[in-house]
């Protein structure tokens, strides 16, 4: 779950981390009113759930209320990476002495959080890691120990600070780690973290992604998963989440349904092997019900991007006859508006095959043969 910049900054501010003075606006008139309560110059920042808005022209600066109104009008009429800008954050522009980076994310190979810092901020951290690896500092955080004061001081010192300024920065980094753990962050970053002209530090930009699996602990954000205006998910992805399906839209033309993440990934590979391009990842999961199969198939049959649908079921907990019932219900209600290739093996395979065969639907037992046939049907 991605949070907007203004939401992430509100969380940081409540935790004692300095952020710029500002407020949200949904119209140019409102933006002008917000700016009238701030000191110039101003920053006008698009609130969208994607990175790279600065490069896309979604961050503008203004020196007067008239310029704020003009800049906010321009930004509010933009689309950034396909997402409409619905609001802007109006802030006092910070006097920058130096731009830094600090973030915390998960190192899955080590099964722990890793703190990442750089003396170069305001750009993609991946570029810094590639071009200037010596400017990147990492601390792998033992989950039983946590991010301690000496970790924070060590990083602040490596970033070139000493004395009271080092302690001030270290204090911010400690508070930042606490925010990460309290909000079950997959990723949290300040980029840039500004060193100001008076020697202070301010989080000029903030990003926070909460682990979806932990949203039961953050109920104020859970409903957003099903709101098209407040999530980066597509209509199909929202529909799949409501049905309890794991779905990710891709850019190919072969729609794929499977049961189990490993099987679905193998299916994507098989389609790619035979020259096709997957249109999605759709996992109905173990023990999928007839209704989940119906919803999964309806999603792909109405997806204009998927020209063929490949259903690959390896029944274990999932029963092949239950899958067959779902397929037959869709056939009865809306018909098959595009070619469907089915591979069905495993629990209650014979019954599932019988049901589909009697309905005139051919079933295969080889994944490779089914994948090749799906690609041939394009």
- Positions marked catalytic: 101, 189
3-state secondary structure the chain: CECCHHHHHHHHHHCCCCCCCEEEECCHHHHHHHHCCCCCCEEEEECCCCCCCCCCCCEEEECCHHHHHHHHHHHHCCEECCEECCCEEEEECCCEEEEEEEEEEEECCCCEEEEEEECCCCCCHHHHHHHCHHHEEEEEECCCCCCCHHHHHHHHHHCCCCHHHHHHHHHHHHHHHHHHHHCCEEEEEEEEEEEECCCCEEECCEEEEECHHHHHHCHHHHHHHHCHHHCCCCHHHHHHHHCCCEEEECCCCEEEEECCHHHHHHHHHHHHHCCCCECEEEECCCCCCHHHHHHHHHHHHCCCCCCEEEEEEEECCCCHHHHHHHHHHHHHHCCCCCCEEEEEEECCHHHHHHHHHHCCCCCECCHHHHHHHHHHCC
């Amino acid at each position: 779950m991605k949070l907007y910049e203004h939401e992430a900054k509100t969380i940081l501010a409540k935790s004692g981390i300095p952020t710029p003075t500002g407020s949200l606006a949904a119209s140019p008139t409102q933006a002008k009113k917000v700016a009238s309560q701030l000191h110039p110059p101003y920053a006008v920042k698009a609130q969208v759930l994607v990175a790279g808005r600065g490069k896309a022209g979604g961050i503008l600066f203004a020196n007067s209320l008239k310029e704020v109104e003009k800049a906010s009008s321009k930004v509010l009429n933009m689309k950034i990476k396909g997402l409409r800008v619905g609001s802007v954050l109006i802030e006092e522009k910070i006097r920058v002495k130096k731009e830094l980076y600090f973030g915390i994310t998960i190192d899955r190979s080590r099964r722990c959080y890793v703190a990442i810092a750089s003396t170069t901020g305001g750009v993609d951290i991946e570029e810094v890691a590639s071009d200037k690896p010596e400017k990147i500092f990492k601390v792998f955080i033992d989950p039983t120990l946590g991010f301690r004061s000496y970790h924070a001081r060590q990083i602040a010192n490596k970033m070139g600070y000493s004395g009271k300024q080092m302690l001030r920065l270290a204090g911010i980094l400690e508070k930042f780690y606490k925010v990460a753990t309290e909000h079950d962050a997959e990723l949290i970053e300040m980029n840039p973290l500004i060193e100001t002209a008076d020697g202070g530090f301010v989080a000029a930009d903030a990003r926070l992604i909460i682990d979806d699996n932990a949203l039961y602990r953050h109920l104020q954000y859970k409903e957003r998963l099903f709101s098209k205006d407040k999530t980066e998910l597509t209509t199909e992805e929202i529909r799949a989440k409501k049905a309890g399906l794991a779905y990710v839209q891709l850019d190919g033309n072969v729609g794929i349904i499977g049961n189990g993440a490993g099987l679905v990934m193998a299916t994507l590979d098989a389609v790619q092997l035979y020259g096709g391009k997957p249109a999605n990842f759709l996992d109905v999961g173990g023990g999928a019900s007839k209704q989940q199969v119906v919803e999964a198939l309806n999603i792909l049959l109405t997806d204009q991007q998927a020209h063929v649908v490949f259903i690959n079921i390896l029944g274990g907990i999932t029963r092949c006859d239950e899958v067959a019932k779902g397929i037959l219900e869709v056939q009865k209600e809306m018909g098959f508006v595009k070619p469907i290739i089915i591979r069905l093996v495993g629990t209650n395979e014979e019954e599932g095959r019988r049901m589909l065969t009697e309905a005139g639907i051919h079933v295969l037992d080889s994944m490779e043969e089914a994948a090749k046939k799906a690609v041939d049907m394009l």
